[in-house]
Amino acid sequence: MQHYDDSILRRSIDEPEHTDASMTAHLQGCATCHARHEEILANARIGERAFSGSLPAVDSARAYANLQTRPASAKRPAAWYPGLAGLAAAAVLVCALVFTPLGGFAAQMLTIFEPHQFVPLAMSATDSEQMRLMPSLKAFGTLRHSPQRALQDRERPVSLAHAAAVTGLTPRGFSIAPRGIPARTQTYLTESSSVAFTFSAAKARAYELRYHRNLPPMPPGLNGSTIRVTFPSAIVRAYGNIPKSAKDLRAHGLDNMVILVESHMPSVISTGASLKTLANYLFAMPNLPADVAAQLHAITDPSRTLPIPLQIDKQTASPVQVDGVEGLALGDQTGLGAGVLWQKGSVIYAVVGSLKKSEAIALADSLR
Amino acid sequence: MVAVSIAPSSSSLEALFAEQYPRLVAIAYRVLGDRADAEDVAQEAFVQFVRTGRQPEPSAPGWLSVAAAHRALNLIRSRKRRIARELAEFRLHRPLLREAQAAMDPLALLDRAQLQIVVRAALLRLRPRDAELLALRYGGSSYRELAQALGIDTHQIGTRLARAERALKKEIEHATLR
């Protein structure tokens, strides 16, 4: 006797209209095929149950509009991570904005703006490599930092009341528990710091001669101009597997941890040149990738918009309504987690951690 | 932000997007169980489609479906540690079933969140092409669409699906009964 193969038996479950009378009779009379059919049917039901549930409604028109505003990039990035890797870098970048100015050009660009809104700045791994070749600020000016606490002080936890008193902030907290995150919390405080940069045409000329590189001509009024950026104190609360040190954080990223950052806005003061003049000068620097420069030039209000560098094909960013305002939801394709960044009143907030984007948004929305 | 220059013609891509985007979200959602993640994956699949210079032609829906399934599965693979933690927690609090009941339906008494934990953990242990087939089938692809997407004969779909579901049951039992 010939038996039905698995292909026909399985398809007969999904498309019973193709089951003819002879097959039905055979299944009733053949113990082998009947048993096989029952087993396949049982497994199919488990599959249906496993993948059951209603599907979310989607707004295809809005999604297409989002697709059209993604920056163009010709190259597929290589598997390369910046020093702190993926979303941990974005999270630390946000924290670094309030902890201390970084030495890299990306942070130098960030300090030019007084953020009231955030946009993603998509960068490929190739872009990041290219930007490492850009001249540092010291090539065309002098950088001075305000005195800062020693590293070990920065890592010592404090009470929330003390942090509130120092920062002048009224700390808010999650009204829901971060799912799957151990119920441990520690509060850290950063003190206010500032950095001043004075442009020097003489230094730029000396750099050009020494390194045989051409810098853009320094615009009139920029030579001798000083920009001072003041970073206010920030409250950083860590929930879950809290790293013992900044080195520990860099080694393990945000595994099983959520961070909530609250800070007043940085302030930017210029003794002469306008922000537009500064931005145009810096965006003309050699080795700034064309697609990154194009994104920066497309920012309509550079005095109020903070670009958040993201590595394309590893991280995603999308506008999102959170805490009653528009923010930026950050996602990660490498399993590190997600985050949300927004500004409410005069306070910047960030929630980042080993979360799904929807969980980060829910936590942000739960702040009271 | 800089507007991307989309090739080929925007109208044909837009039509393809309108037609296929909900399907791609469905495929990704069955794997990820999260709407925001699923929409990210679906959009990334289209970005990849445009970047590789593909055209909105008859093979496009199949290519996009497979791309979405791959991206969704890669995303859960990247979250292996988190999924392992969730499964460990689930095993501490799972509802107790009699052995016979568990053999009949290992997913009995699980709520939606528990179901998703178990299914994601099971998908991680499947052979990639079994996981891919299940994502596509339960994301709504017909046998004809599966055959076209995977480049195989329609007659082979039933055999592969039966095998994938058998493997899925085994991995679900592994997740729920250990």
Cβ under 8 Å to A: B residues 138-167: 138, 143, 155-159, 161-163, 165-166
Alpha helices by DSSP H, chain A: 6-14, 21-29, 31-50, 60-68, 86-99, 105-110, 125-131, 151-154, 160-167, 201-211, 246-252, 275-283, 290-297, 357-365
Strands A234-240 and A185-190: antiparallel
- Nearest by Cα to B138 from B119, B113, B111, B117: B119
What residue ranges of chain A have pLDDT lower than 50? 72-114, 149-153
Q: Could you tell me the two tokens for A189?
A: 């405080």
**Domain limits, chain B:** 10-177
User: Nearest CA of chain B to the CA of A229: how many Å?
Assistant: 25
Do A37 and A69 belong together in one domain? no
State residue A249's pLDDT score: 57
Q: Is residue A213 part of a domain?
A: yes
Whether ipTM exceeds 0.85: yes
State residue A335's pLDDT score: 63
Return all residues near A356 (Cβ < 8 A) that are at least 6 apart: A338, B34, B36, B37
State residue B20's pLDDT score: 94
Q: Do B14 and A119 touch (CB under 8 A)?
A: no
Q: Is residue A33 part of a domain?
A: yes
Q: How far apart are CA A118 and CA A265, in angstroms?
A: 13
Q: Establish if B93 touches chain A: CB-CB under 8 angstroms.
A: no
Do A17 and A144 belong together in one domain? no
Q: Is residue A176 part of a domain?
A: yes
Do A275 and A158 belong together in one domain? yes
∠ CA(B97), CA(B98), CA(B103), 5° rounding? 90
Do A45 and A75 belong together in one domain? no
- Quick check: helix, strand or coil at residue A45? helix
Q: How far apart are CA B97 and CA B103, in angstroms?
A: 9
Q: Global pTM?
A: 0.57
Q: How far apart are CA A28 and CA A33, in angstroms?
A: 9
Computed over its alpha carbons, how large is the radius of gyration of chain A?
Answer: 27
State residue B62's pLDDT score: 92
Q: Do A44 and B165 touch (CB under 8 A)?
A: yes
Do A185 and A37 belong together in one domain? no
- Quick check: helix, strand or coil at residue A344? strand
Full domain range(s) for residue A38: 6-50
Nearest CB neighbour to A58, from listed B22, B79, B155: B22
- Nearest by Cα to A311 from A91, A133, A90: A90
Q: Is residue A224 part of a domain?
A: yes
Amino acid at A314: K
Q: Do B18 and A361 touch (CB under 8 A)?
A: no
The whole-angstrom distance between residue A109's C-alpha and the CA centroid of its chain comes to 17
- DSSP tag of B105: -
Inter-chain contacts counted by CB atoms under 8 A, chains A and B: 164
Q: How far apart are CA A278 and CA A247, in angstroms?
A: 34
**pLDDT tens digits for A115-138?**
566 677 777 777 777 777 777 778
**pLDDT tens digits for B15-53?**
899 999 999 999 999 999 988 889 989 998 998 888 877
- Burial of A175 (C-beta count, 10 Å sphere; 0-12/13-18/19+): exposed
- Quick check: helix, strand or coil at residue A146? coil
Q: Is residue A55 part of a domain?
A: no
Cα(first)–Cα(last) distance of chain A, in Å?
A: 72
B145 or A291: which leads in pLDDT: B145
Q: In what order do the strands lie in the sheet with A325-332?
A: A185-190, A234-240, A257-264, A347-353, A338-344, A325-332, A315-322
Q: Is residue A294 part of a domain?
A: yes
State residue B50's pLDDT score: 84
Q: How far apart are CA A290 and CA A72, in angstroms?
A: 11
The chain-wide mean pLDDT, for chain B, equals: 85
Q: Is residue A1 part of a domain?
A: no
Q: Could you tell me the two tokens for B126?
A: 């499947």
Give the residue from B9, B71, B76, B82 with the most A CB atoms within 10 Å of its CB, the best one to mutate: B82
Give percent of chain B with pLDDT exceeding 90. 48
Do A10 and A68 belong together in one domain? no
State residue B169's pLDDT score: 93
Q: Could you tell me the two tokens for B171?
A: 């991995």
Q: Is residue A253 part of a domain?
A: yes
Number of domains, chain A: 2
Do A139 and A278 belong together in one domain? yes
Residues of chain B with Cβ-Cβ distance to A361 below 8 Å are 36
- Quick check: helix, strand or coil at residue A329? strand
Position B5 pLDDT exceeds 60: no
Report CA torsion sign: B71, B72, B77, B78.
positive
State residue A155's pLDDT score: 54
DSSP string spanning A60-83? HHHHHHHHHTSPP-SSPPPS---T
State residue B19's pLDDT score: 92
Residues of chain B with Cβ-Cβ distance to A43 below 8 Å are 162, 165-166, 168-169
Q: How far apart are CA A107 and CA A105, in angstroms?
A: 5
State residue A323's pLDDT score: 92
